[in-house]
């Protein structure tokens, strides 16, 4: 084959014939003989062969590139040296699993451990710490480089650190083997020699060496127009290459340009050159000299107008400033390129993307109704917060090199992920994860070039471009300079994540939760599905957002899917086959072929291809050999060759694809297939192409350079090459650099047939509807679906928030009456639920119907107004049908007996509870219930009022400061105002006020009876009964028995020991007593105090000892009388149960030492049996009468009491009758 | 303000607000009260456990019963509290718990004790009832009256915030709305249409009727504010009684503004298209 190229380039066959042949296969007689009957076979592999041919021609020179004479000892990593040069004659098309570029295996890979450049960086004060750590790590982006490593690139040096894994050795068929056979053994020898050298070198400490290196400079051959030889041949070659590139015949667009730039910046030292020439005698090669290389490169780059139109301004700038390019094609640089550059400047950029960094809480998807239970909801609340916390911790710490994520966060992550092993929680967590991930992905802002050029960075560019470059690399690719904090084996797959995405990758790894992974996978899948088919991509920023979101989701989906298959080792053939057999029937999580097909037909390739490529980039070697993948790849190759897109879109698609084709795992034979072999399926379906639809691929405004660079981060390597050249040039040190270049060997393989999809069978109505929408503008369908969805959602919300609560409330109310009337019904809840369910369903349906009524007007407003009325009617019908369907679905799913059961049972339990302790319920709850209160800020704030009351009480008790009647009245007024004219009074506060006001009045009665009149008391009691109506009084008697003893917690405690103690401190007892009894009477009249309470309180008082009040004993007696008298007048008789105290007489005052007659008259029902009558004094019993006893009377002698027994008996016996 | 927080520690326990007022006349009474209250709560958090072991309470109870039997002037518990360091209400509570100790020496039910604290008239021992009542009147930080006051203040300022926002025609949902809608975390105010304050967009407002010192703020950040941030984005917290300078810097990169009143320089979204 090589001869073919030589003939083409040297010969006089017009190139135009070659071009025609390549384009449509017609062979002109001039080239007939050159091809020697291989026309079709060679036609498709021709571009690949051409690319290889050029590499071959320049290989000798590139080998010498950048070799620093001061570093004669070339060190290569021992691990990487597992190098099997295979120069076997594998036949074309042998389906080898690792079929990769064996064509270049004769090339040596010389790897230096440390480069001057790196060292320079680490010494640079600008980036001390990060650089330090970076040296220990590999650079992810650069890991993808295959073994056809060119000599001594700065990139490879870092990459082949001691823990890198060997990449699969090339054992592959090669079309070029014949041409190269002679060269290979030699390089193999060289390789061995290198290895030897390296081994010796290993014992020498590296540091002094490095120090030496930095100080050394060396010269290199500068290209010169005058030394270019064989100019015509080079021109022809260049024309061939540029033709192939521009017609998309060369499948590795990205790589070719990279290679050309490499040629452009080649640096070879004269001494080395001489050596090489002597050794190899390679001067006969076309690209055997620096001059030729640069000339060829410049000529070719010049023709690739299409490419430069879409790269970012910085790359263009670098090109413009490249001295060699200026030298070799000044007209182009100064003319077109400059114009292009200035036109780019004015182009408006994608508006700044989102700045919101958090995931918003959406009540539609995140509230309680989206969870199965309260506990699930509560747990997720915790999970959400913990997730955000972990993310924040990572953000803060990730830039600290010594920080270890596994140590710091593993426990937290694991506990949060599995906090509740429940599918609902996993699903929500996965959703949160995805949302946060997408948020972060969108946050990456495109570099602002405008600012860069004019601002401080621009100045830096002119003064120290090297530093700027490093700075930018750092900003764009943080992981380059940041150690990967990761557990587990190092793997290529992991290297695809950079920046903040590392967090999410490590989160998945550290969580190590299969359930979570599964949910996340599903979530990503549905996300991709939604976005890929989403229609709102017309807006430019929206489009950019979607493209990036899709890429990120695809990347993580691929990570989840392929990570289990990653291997750090090279797989031996039999293992490889076993694995691939195992996975033969494995289902791919995502049907790429159908996505691609759909995208092709709908003209959305520009949206879909980037994420498909991202997905495939992460695939493992075995996956690429699976039949499912085969057809995907065929489609992609076809698209690369044939897809018709607007230039910018095409560039994005093709660069992405070419990147994929360059993946080390990619089965290269496919690339050499003919169109006919590749895709049969795509064509057959193409009748469905709908030209009416707005095609994203056809639009010209969606893609711009910054988006391209964001989607294809690897494009930075072009810039990188140029910038490196520029900076080493600027330093005028001889350390020019070349970077990686890769070669592709075309090998053909049998194409495996892909399964053809069978169309689904649909019902007639459905297909009618489908066709209806198919022929209408797409917006019609969208509008109808949208309206239906929104309406249904509104109806559902109405049902949930209005209808259900109302009906449930009614049911709860009816439950109360049921208790009384249907006490026999066994399960009132069950039947109520059934009834309720029916009611809700009926009401819901009717509300849906009424909602549907508004559809017509809505749709008329929204649909295109040139629609025919019947069409509109159909739309309305479909929309209402959809709405109804949705509502009904919802009802059947959610409105079940179980929905209400809980509510009603709770209510029932509450009722039971209430019955048990009805007295404890807070009376104040009703304060603000009825009327909407207009807030009056002029009234006292409740907290202020509390403070004031507290202070007043304190003052009255402690300091005996006077409170006037006026003040009391004012206080009443302001309390009233606060309670009734403010909206910020909480129940607890209201209750506190109740207590405090009562205390205040009582204490005032005791300590300052003069400032309280009975009028005041009446006013206050009236206020209380208004503000705190007693709700118990009505239901009091019937439930008396159930009340636990001592449960009375009413605030109106007039007669408790404490109050009596207070009363005892009164300075004017008589007045105080009077007031207090007025208070008591008023309270009882208002129904605030129940008779029963008074009774209880009285008993409690009697049981107390009042030792220190002996002197006032008499008051106590008097008071007791008063109490009972009041009871007799106001309340029902003291005792119930058929026993009535009809009279009670105790003298209010008595002389010390005189006789007192105590009289208690009562009447009992006929059948009632009295047990005893007892009299107490100060808690001590002094008299007892037992009716059943033989000697009923017992008198206990107490100091100061002599009981006249007989007298009492007489009274009692009389009353018994 | 930090100076005020510092000097709080050196003052005797009661009536510190008045003392501080003389020291820092430029600060509002509310602020000083808050500073004092927060200091007190912090102190109690630290020493409550130590001061209320059963042995310590036994000693206190003995002293109290002795004083009663000697018919000392009312205010026994308050004097005891001054001496001991427990706030009056907490002391009273411990004494009640001891008083109602069951026969098997276990503590009485919490509910019973709180009921008695709420309504001292129900305490069967009249002296204890009265003493407790005096304690409650005296204590500004603990006990039902103090609790009600604090709760009330918080709610008053929430209402005030709502009214001010309504006056500014800001549309918002408040806590109760959010709860009905099933939100898992409910800030006092969630702005339905975000506004900008001093160049920062805010989506929610939390009202805190107290003084924002670092410890308080950290507590809220952990329990509430970060949760709001996680859900709704940047927001604003209002410490009505002032806050320590530089409090915002502990949020790191999460934007949560801190103010001591509703900012009046809010910038609204343009409504007319």
pLDDT exceeds 50 at position A907: yes
Question: To the nearest 10°, the Cα dihedral for A10, A12, A16, A20?
Answer: -80
Q: Region A755-765: what's the mean pLDDT?
A: 46
Chain A partners of B14 at a C-beta cutoff of 8 Å?
none
Least CB-CB distance to A361: which of B180, B231, B253?
B231
Are B199 and B117 in a shared domain? no
The enclosing H or E element of A303 equals helix A290-303
Chain B partners of A1049 at a C-beta cutoff of 8 Å?
115, 119, 122
Q: Region A7-18: what's the mean pLDDT?
A: 67
Residue of B nearest to A393 (CA): B252
A1059 touches chain B (CB under 8 A): yes
**Substitution target from B127, B140, B184, B207 for chain A, most A beta carbons within 10 A:** B184
Are B14 and B115 in a shared domain? yes
B236 touches chain A (CB under 8 A): no
Give percent of chain B with pLDDT exceeding 70: 93
Chain B partners of A1116 at a C-beta cutoff of 8 Å?
none
Tell me which of A138-152, A257-271, B191-205 is least confident: A138-152
Q: What angle do CA A64, A66, A68 make, to 5 degrees?
A: 100
Q: What angle do CA A863, A865, A867 make, to 5 degrees?
A: 85
Contact B151 A384 (CB under 8 A): no
Tokens of A716: 């930075």
Q: Region A410-414: what's the mean pLDDT?
A: 88
Give percent of chain A with pLDDT exceeding 90: 2
Does some domain include residue B151?
A: no
* CA–CA min distance A1081, chain B (Å): 19
- What does the pLDDT read at residue A536? 62
Q: Region B125-152: what's the mean pLDDT?
A: 87
A1083 touches chain B (CB under 8 A): no
Each residue's pLDDT tens digit, A811-830: 877 777 766 555 555 666 77
Are B195 and B110 in a shared domain? no
Q: Are B78 and B143 in contact (CB under 8 A)?
A: no
- Of A524, A523, A493, A525, the residue nearest A509 (C-alpha): A493
pLDDT exceeds 80 at position B116: yes
Chain-centroid distance, C-alpha A795 = 29
Does some domain include residue B240?
A: yes
Does some domain include residue B148?
A: no
- What does the pLDDT read at residue A426? 92
| Higher-pLDDT residue of A161, A231 | A231
* CA–CA min distance A105, chain B (Å): 52
| Higher-pLDDT residue of A696, A562 | A562
- Of A275, A324, A321, the residue nearest A298 (C-alpha): A324
Q: How far is CA B10 from CA A38, A893, B1, B7, B19, in A?
A: 101, 65, 15, 6, 11
Distance CA A532, CA A1036 (A): 69
Distance CA A975, CA A489 (A): 74
- What does the pLDDT read at residue A291? 80
B221 touches chain A (CB under 8 A): no
Contact B137 A941 (CB under 8 A): no
Segments making up each domain of chain A, as ranges: 1-65+219-344, 776-819+826-914, 942-1030+1051-1128, 1140-1195
Chosen domain end from B73, B105, B138? B138
Q: Region A161-179: what's the mean pLDDT?
A: 39
Does some domain include residue B263?
A: yes
Least CB-CB distance to B229: which of A358, A396, A950?
A358
A888 touches chain B (CB under 8 A): no
pLDDT exceeds 50 at position A176: no
Q: Are A143 and A492 in contact (CB under 8 A)?
A: yes
Question: To the nearest 10°, the Cα dihedral for A130, A132, A133, A134?
Answer: 80
Q: Are B262 and B161 in contact (CB under 8 A)?
A: yes
Does some domain include residue B145?
A: no
* CA–CA min distance A800, chain B (Å): 10
Are B104 and B207 in a shared domain? no
Nearest-Å Rg of the Cα atoms of chain B is 23
- How many CB atoms within 10 Å of residue A208? 9
SS (H, E, C) A538-576: CCHHHHHHHHHHHHHHHHHHHHHHHHHHCCCCCCCHHHH
Contact A1053 B152 (CB under 8 A): no
Q: Region B61-81: what's the mean pLDDT?
A: 87
- Determine the 3-state secondary structure of A3 from DSSP: helix
Maximal C-alpha separation, chain A: 156
The confidence band for A865, taking pLDDT boundaries of 50, 70 and 90, is confident
Chain A partners of B129 at a C-beta cutoff of 8 Å?
1056-1058, 1061
Q: Region A734-750: what's the mean pLDDT?
A: 41
Distance CA A748, CA A671 (A): 8
B95 touches chain A (CB under 8 A): no
The enclosing H or E element of B258 equals strand B256-259
Q: How far is CA A817 from CA A820, A907, A1035, B99, in A?
A: 5, 13, 14, 44
Are B178 and B218 in a shared domain? yes
Contact B184 A367 (CB under 8 A): yes
- What does the pLDDT read at residue A1080? 80
Contacts of B228 (CB under 8 A, 6+ apart): B185, B187, B204, B206, B235
Tokens of A275: 């050596």
Q: Are A621 and A576 in contact (CB under 8 A)?
A: yes
Contact B149 A368 (CB under 8 A): no
- Of A848, A850, A836, A857, the residue nearest A797 (C-alpha): A848
Burial of B76 (0-12, 13-18, 19+ CB in 10 A): buried
Q: Are A1183 and A1196 in contact (CB under 8 A)?
A: yes
Q: Region A705-721: what's the mean pLDDT?
A: 79
Give percent of chain A with pLDDT exceeding 70: 57
Each residue's pLDDT tens digit, A199-247: 555 444 434 433 344 334 456 677 777 777 777 778 878 888 888 877 7
Residue of B nearest to A375 (CA): B184
Nearest-Å Rg of the Cα atoms of chain A is 47
Are B4 and B90 in a shared domain? yes
- How many CB atoms within 10 Å of residue A247? 13
Are B184 and B82 in a shared domain? no
Are B126 and B161 in a shared domain? no
- What does the pLDDT read at residue A710? 79
Does some domain include residue B233?
A: yes
Each residue's pLDDT tens digit, A1106-1119: 554 443 444 555 55
A367 touches chain B (CB under 8 A): yes
Q: Are A1162 and A1142 in contact (CB under 8 A)?
A: yes
Please indicate, yes or no, whether the overall pTM of this predicted structure exceeds 0.80.
Answer: no
Chosen domain end from B106, B138, B170? B138
- What does the pLDDT read at residue A2? 56
Contact A380 B180 (CB under 8 A): no
* CA–CA min distance A1024, chain B (Å): 17
Residue of A nearest to B151 (CA): A989
Each residue's pLDDT tens digit, A1014-1051: 888 888 888 888 887 765 443 443 333 333 334 445 67
Are B120 and B190 in a shared domain? no
Distance CA B229, CA B246 (A): 19
- What does the pLDDT read at residue A930? 45
User: DSSP readout, A1184-1211?
Assistant: EEESSSSS-EEE--BTTB---HHHHHHH
- Determine the 3-state secondary structure of A163 from DSSP: coil
Q: Region A1173-1200: what's the mean pLDDT?
A: 71
Chosen domain end from B138, B165, B194? B138
Are B172 and B251 in a shared domain? yes
Are B99 and B209 in a shared domain? no
Handedness of CA A121, A126, A129, A133 (dihedral sign): negative
Contacts of B134 (CB under 8 A, 6+ apart): A957, A958, B74, B75, B77, B78, B88
Distance CA A954, CA A222 (A): 100
Each residue's pLDDT tens digit, A1046-1096: 444 567 777 777 777 787 777 777 778 778 878 887 887 777 777 667 766
Does some domain include residue B144?
A: no
| Higher-pLDDT residue of A1183, B36 | B36
Q: Buried b vs exposed e over A641-679: b needs ≥16 C-beta within 10 Å?
A: bebebbebbbbbbbbbbbbbbbbbbbbbbbbbbeeeebb
Residue of B nearest to A378 (CA): B184
- How many CB atoms within 10 Å of residue A193? 12
B176 touches chain A (CB under 8 A): no
**What is the total count of domains within chain B?**
2
The confidence band for A364, taking pLDDT boundaries of 50, 70 and 90, is confident
- Of B220, B148, B147, the residue nearest B188 (C-alpha): B220
| Higher-pLDDT residue of A1104, A1121 | A1104
Contact B233 A999 (CB under 8 A): no
A1122: DSSP letter: H
Q: Rounded to the nearest 5°, which phi and psi values hold at A579?
A: -60, -45
Q: How far is CA A109 from CA A18, A156, A202, A904, A1204, in A?
A: 35, 10, 17, 79, 129
**Substitution target from A375, A992, A1060 for chain B, most B beta carbons within 10 A:** A992
- What does the pLDDT read at residue A703? 78
ipTM of model:
0.86
- Give the residue numbers spanning the domain of B187: 156-268
The confidence band for A524, taking pLDDT boundaries of 50, 70 and 90, is very high
Half-sphere exposure of A994 (CA within 13 A, CB side): 27
Are B75 and B118 in a shared domain? yes
Does some domain include residue B223?
A: yes
């Amino acid at each position: 084959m090589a001869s073919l190229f030589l003939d083409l380039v040297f010969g006089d066959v017009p190139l135009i014939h070659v071009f025609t042949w390549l384009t449509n296969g017609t062979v002109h007689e001039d080239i007939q003989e050159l091809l020697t009957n291989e026309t079709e076979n060679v036609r498709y592999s021709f571009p690949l062969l051409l690319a290889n041919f050029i590499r071959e021609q320049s290989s000798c020179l590139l080998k010498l590139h950048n070799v620093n004479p001061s570093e004669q000892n070339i060190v290569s990593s021992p691990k990487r040296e597992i190098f099997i040069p295979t120069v076997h004659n594998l036949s074309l098309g042998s389906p080898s699993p690792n079929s990769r570029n064996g064509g270049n295996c004769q090339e040596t890979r010389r790897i230096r451990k440390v480069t001057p450049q790196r060292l320079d960086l680490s010494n640079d004060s600008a980036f001390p710490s990060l650089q330090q750590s970076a040296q220990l790590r590999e650079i992810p982006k650069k890991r993808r480089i295959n073994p056809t490593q060119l000599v001594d690139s700065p990139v490879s040096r870092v990459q082949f650190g001691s823990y890198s894994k060997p990449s699969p050795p090339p054992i592959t068929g090669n079309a070029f083997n014949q041409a190269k056979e002679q060269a290979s053994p030699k390089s193999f020898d060289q390789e061995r020699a290198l290895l030897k050298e390296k081994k010796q070198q290993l014992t020498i400490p590296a540091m002094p060496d490095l120090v030496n290196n930095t100080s050394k400079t060396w010269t290199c051959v500068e290209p010169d127009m005058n030394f270019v030889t064989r100019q015509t041949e080079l021109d022809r070659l260049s024309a061939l290459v540029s033709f192939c590139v521009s017609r998309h015949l060369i499948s590795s667009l990205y790589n070719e340009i990279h290679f050309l730039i490499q040629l452009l910046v080649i640096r070879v030292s004269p001494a080395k050159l001489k050596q090489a020439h002597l050794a190899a005698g390679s001067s006969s090669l076309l690209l055997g000299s620096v001059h030729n290389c640069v000339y060829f490169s410049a000529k070719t780059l010049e023709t690739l107008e299409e490419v430069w139109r879409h790269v970012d301004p910085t790359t263009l700038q670098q090109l413009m400033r490249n001295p060699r390019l200026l030298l070799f094609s000044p007209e182009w640089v100064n003319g077109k390129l400059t114009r292009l550059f200035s036109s780019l400047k004015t182009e408006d950029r994608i508006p700044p993307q989102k700045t919101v960094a958090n995931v918003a809480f959406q009540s539609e998807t995140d509230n309680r109704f989206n969870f199965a239970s309260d506990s699930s909801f509560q747990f997720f609340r915790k999970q959400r917060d913990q997730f955000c916390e972990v993310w924040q911790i990572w953000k803060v710490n990730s830039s600290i090199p010594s920080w270890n994520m596994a140590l710091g966060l593993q426990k937290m992550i694991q506990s949060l992920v599995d906090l509740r092993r429940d599918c609902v929680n996993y699903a929500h967590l996965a959703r949160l994860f995805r949302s946060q991930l997408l948020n972060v992905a969108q946050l990456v802002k495109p570099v602002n070039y405008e600012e860069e050029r004019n601002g401080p960075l621009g100045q830096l560019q002119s003064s120290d471009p090297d530093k700027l470059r490093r700075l930018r690399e750092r900003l764009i690719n943080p992981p380059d300079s940041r150690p990967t904090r990761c557990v587990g084996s190092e793997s290529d797959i992991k290297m695809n994540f950079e920046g903040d995405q590392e967090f999410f990758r490590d989160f998945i790894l550290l969580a190590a939760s299969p359930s979570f992974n599964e949910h996340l996978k599903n979530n990503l899948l549905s996300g991709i599905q939604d976005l890929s088919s989403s229609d709102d991509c017309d807006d430019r920023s929206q489009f950019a957002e979607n493209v990036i979101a899709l890429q990120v989701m695809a990347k993580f989906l691929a990570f989840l899917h392929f990570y289990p298959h990653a291997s750090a080792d090279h797989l031996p053939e039999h293992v490889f086959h076993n694995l691939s057999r195992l996975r033969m029937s494995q289902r791919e999580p995502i049907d790429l072929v159908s996505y691609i097909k759909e995208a092709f037909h709908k003209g959305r390739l520009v949206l879909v291809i980037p994420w498909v490529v991202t997905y495939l980039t992460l695939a493992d070697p075995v996956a690429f050999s699976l039949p499912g993948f085969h057809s995907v790849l065929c489609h992609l190759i076809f698209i690369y060759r044939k897809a018709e897109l607007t230039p910018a879109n095409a560039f994005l698609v093709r660069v992405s694809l070419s990147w994929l084709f360059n993946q080390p795992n990619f089965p290269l034979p496919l690339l050499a297939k003919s169109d006919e072999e590749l895709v049969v399926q795509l064509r057959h379906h193409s009748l469905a192409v709908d030209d009416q639809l707005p095609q994203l691929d056809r639009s010209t405004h969606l893609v711009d350079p910054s988006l391209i660079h964001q989607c294809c981060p690897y494009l930075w390597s072009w810039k990188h090459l140029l910038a490196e050249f520029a900076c080493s040039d600027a330093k005028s040190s001889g350390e020019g650099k070349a970077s990686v270049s890769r070669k592709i060997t075309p090998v053909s393989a049998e194409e495996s047939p892909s399964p053809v999809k069978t169309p689904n069978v649909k019902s007639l109505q459905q297909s009618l509807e489908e066709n209806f929408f198919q022929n209408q503008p797409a917006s019609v369908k969208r509008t109808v679906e949208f309206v239906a969805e929104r309406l249904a959602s509104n109806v559902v919300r109405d049902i949930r928030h209005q209808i259900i609560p109302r009906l449930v409330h009614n049911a709860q109310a009816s439950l109360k009456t049921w208790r009384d009337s249907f006490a026999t019904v066994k399960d009132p809840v069950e039947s109520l639920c059934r009834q309720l369910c029916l009611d809700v369903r009926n009401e819901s349906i009717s509300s849906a119907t009424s909602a549907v009524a508004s559809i017509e007007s809505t749709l008329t407003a929204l649909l295109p107004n040139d629609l025919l009325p019947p069409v509109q009617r159909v739309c309305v019908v479909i929309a209402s049908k959809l709405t109804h369907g949705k509502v009904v679905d919802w009802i059947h799913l959610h409105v079940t007996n179980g929905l209400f059961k809980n509510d009603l049972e709770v209510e029932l339990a509450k009722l039971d509870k209430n019955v048990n302790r009805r007295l404890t319920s807070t009376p104040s709850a009703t304060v603000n219930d009825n009327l909407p209160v207009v807030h009056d800020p002029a009234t006292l704030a409740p907290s202020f009022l509390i403070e004031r009351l507290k202070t007043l009480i304190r003052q009255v008790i402690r300091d005996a400061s006077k409170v006037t009647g006026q003040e009391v009245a004012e206080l009443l007024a302001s309390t009233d105002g606060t309670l009734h004219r403010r909206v910020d009074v909480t129940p607890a506060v209201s209750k506190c006020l109740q207590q405090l006001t009562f205390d205040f009045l009582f204490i005032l009665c005791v300590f300052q009876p003069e400032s309280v009149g009975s009028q005041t008391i009446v006013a206050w009691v009236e206020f209380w009964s208004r503000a705190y109506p007693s709700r118990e009084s009505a239901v009091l008697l019937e439930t008396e028995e159930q009340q636990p003893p001592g449960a009375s917690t009413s605030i109106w405690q007039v007669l408790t020991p404490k109050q009596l103690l207070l009363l005892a401190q009164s300075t004017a007892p008589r007045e105080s007593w009077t007031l207090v009894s007025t208070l008591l009477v008023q309270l009882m009249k208002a129904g605030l105090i129940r008779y029963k309470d008074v009774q209880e309180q009285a008993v409690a008082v009697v049981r107390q000892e009042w030792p220190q009040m002996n002197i006032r004993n008499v008051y106590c007696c008097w008071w007791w009388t008063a109490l009972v008298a009041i009871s007799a007048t106001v309340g029902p008789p003291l005792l119930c149960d058929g026993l009535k105290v009809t009279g009670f007489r105790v003298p209010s005052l008595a002389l010390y030492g005189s006789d007192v007659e105590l009289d208690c008259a009562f009447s009992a029902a006929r059948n009632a049996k009295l047990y005893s009558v007892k009299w107490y004094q100060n808690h001590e019993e002094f008299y007892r009468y037992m009716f059943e006893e033989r000697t009923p009377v017992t008198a206990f002698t107490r100091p100061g009491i002599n009981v006249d027994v007989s007298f009492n008996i007489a009274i009692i016996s009389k009353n018994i009758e | 303000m930090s100076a005020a927080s510092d000097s709080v520690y050196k003052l005797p326990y009661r009536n510190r607000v008045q003392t501080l007022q003389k020291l820092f006349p430029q600060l509002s009474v509310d602020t000083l009260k808050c500073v004092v209250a927060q200091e007190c709560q912090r102190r109690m958090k630290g020493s409550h456990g130590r001061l209320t072991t059963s042995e310590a309470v036994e000693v206190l109870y003995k002293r109290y019963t002795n004083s009663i039997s000697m018919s000392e002037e009312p205010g026994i518990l308050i004097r005891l509290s001054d001496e001991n360091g427990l706030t009056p209400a907490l002391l009273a509570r411990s004494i009640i718990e001891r008083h109602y100790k069951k026969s098997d020496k276990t503590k009485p039910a919490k509910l019973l004790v709180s009921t008695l604290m709420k309504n001292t008239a129900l305490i069967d021992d009249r002296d204890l009832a009265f003493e407790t009542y005096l304690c409650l009147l005296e204590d500004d930080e603990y006990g039902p009256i103090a609790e009600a006051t604090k709760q009330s203040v918080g709610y008053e300022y929430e209402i005030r915030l709502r009214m001010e926002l309504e006056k500014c025609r800001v549309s918002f949902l408040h806590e109760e709305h959010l709860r009905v809608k099933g939100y898992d975390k409910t800030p006092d105010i969630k702005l339905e249409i975000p506004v900008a304050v001093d160049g920062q967009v805010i989506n929610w407002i939390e009202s805190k009727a107290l003084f924002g010192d670092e410890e308080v703020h950290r507590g809220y950040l952990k329990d509430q504010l970060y949760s709001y941030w996680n859900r709704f984005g940047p927001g604003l917290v209002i410490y009505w009684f002032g806050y320590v300078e530089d409090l915002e810097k502990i949020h790191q990169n999460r934007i949560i503004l801190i103010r001591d009143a509703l900012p009046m320089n809010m910038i609204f979204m343009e409504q007319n298209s």
